[in-house]
Amino acid sequence: MKEYGIRAGGLPYPSTRQGKVTSKSPSNIALIKYWGKYPEQIPVNPSISYTLNQCHSETQLYYKFQEDRKKKFSVQFLFAGKSRPEFLTKILVFFEKISPYCPYLYDFDYTIKTNNTFPHSSGIASSASAMSALALCLVQLEQKLGYILTTEDYLQKASFLSRLGSGSACRSIYPGLVIWGSHKAIKGSDDYYAIPYPYEIHEAFTNFQDTIMLIDEGAKKVSSSQGHELMHRHHYTQKRAESAYENLERLIPILKTGDLESFGELVEHEALSLHAMMMCSRPYFILMKPNTLHVIEKVWDFRTQTANPLYFTLDAGANVHLLYPNEYKNMIHPFIREELLRHCQLGHYIEDSCAYA
């Protein structure tokens, strides 16, 4: 692995012995889904996502040098002001995984405070924003400790570390359309970190809205990690990976020419493929709820009747992400309020957009 300016020698550190770093990182919504992984969080297939503007995690990392080098990590963790042992466990696993690339980790006591701008219980995946925000704090700490990083290396290392916390988190480091996973048609693409989409993007795709219909609030019954795990002994893993790989290649001219219709077809196909994999794994799961299907059917009918470019995608859960260009908002919002909102469990939805300033 690239050394990202890691200083040889480690201790003693320069003047910075205690302090605080902060960062803010968004969630993202995949258009071509990462589904299935090899050891070390290497994805079975390349993926692409839109980084979101509104849903993000804000993290503060307090660090204090401690003279006696320990073999265990010393971390306190507060989420929205409360200690959450289940999240702390994840952070300790994350620290363990990244320790070969962050040799200073054992030398400090840490207090980590995190808040999300979106409800944690909403069923929106928070691991992408949370892990990327923490990784950004860590690379800032590295800079303070005198590890010299160029801006490019800084972001690449943040992405590399985020990946080890949660695969999809590595894409949250960059705004806009972001690729993770090596693909022969995408220059610079890599299994170890994400890169900003490197080719031409038609303006039709630089102003997308993502309205997230909260069909089912509360913790997911099947985690993404369990879903990835199921792909290890799945009959269709290879075919699914090939399909995602082909979809990514097909997306390049679509993004260039602004072909909204083909974009929608491809994105919906991806979402349904992911759910199809879950439905025919062993054990099998249905992650959609009846209301997920009601929303999808209404989106299809609306599109047929009005020709408005309204498409959906799904995470590994029941919530529906509605994707559409911002200029159609006036037509689409009344439809969402009048027809779709009634299918949200508690009548909640989240308005977000994809990050192109």
Residue placing its CB nearer to ligand DP6 in the complex, 102 or 128: 128
Residue placing its CB nearer to ligand DP6 in the complex, 230 or 260: 230
Residue placing its CB nearer to ligand DP6 in the complex, 23 or 132: 132
Residue 162 as a binder of ligand DP6 (CB under 6 A): the answer is: no
Give me the count of residues in the chain: 357
Q: In the stretch 308-337, what mask flags binding to ligand DP6 with x, by CB under 6 A?
A: -------xx---------------------
- 216: helix, coil or strand? coil
Site for ligand DP6 in 11-40 (CB under 6 A): 30, 33-34
Q: How far is the CB of 238 from ligand DP6 (least distance, A)?
A: 18
Choice from 116, 127, 172, 281 touching ligand DP6 (CB under 6 A): 127
Calculate the alpha carbon distances from 140 to 72, 128, 137 in Å: 22, 18, 5
Choice from 26, 123, 167, 264 touching ligand DP6 (CB under 6 A): 167
Candidates 14-22, 181-189, 212-220, 222-230: pick the segment binding ligand DP6 (CB under 6 A).
222-230
Q: How far is the CB of 151 from ligand DP6 (least distance, A)?
A: 25
CA distance linking residue 269 with residue 224, whole number of Å: 19
Site for ligand DP6 in 41-80 (CB under 6 A): 41, 47
Q: How far is the CB of 240 from ligand DP6 (least distance, A)?
A: 12
| Binding-residue total with ligand DP6 (CB under 6 A) | 16
CA distance linking residue 70 with residue 209, whole number of Å: 47
The helix (H) or strand (E) run that includes residue 298 is: helix 290-306
CA distance linking residue 277 with residue 272, whole number of Å: 9
Q: Where are the alpha helices (DSSP H) in 35-116?
A: 85-98
3-state helix, strand, coil in the chain (%, to 5): 45, 25, 35
CA distance linking residue 196 with residue 255, whole number of Å: 14
Residue placing its CB nearer to ligand DP6 in the complex, 47 or 211: 47
Q: How far is the CB of 29 from ligand DP6 (least distance, A)?
A: 7
Closest to 125 in 3D by CA, of 46, 216, 194, 28: 28
Candidates 93-101, 107-115, 160-168, 280-288: pick the segment binding ligand DP6 (CB under 6 A).
160-168
Residue 225 as a binder of ligand DP6 (CB under 6 A): the answer is: yes
Strands 208-213 and 349-353: antiparallel
> Over the range 275-304, which residues count as b (16 or more CB within 10 Å of their CB) and which as e?
bebbeebeeebebbbebbebbbebbeebbe
- What is the binding site for ligand DP6 (CB under 6 A)? 30, 33-34, 41, 47, 125, 127, 166-168, 224-225, 228, 274, 315-316
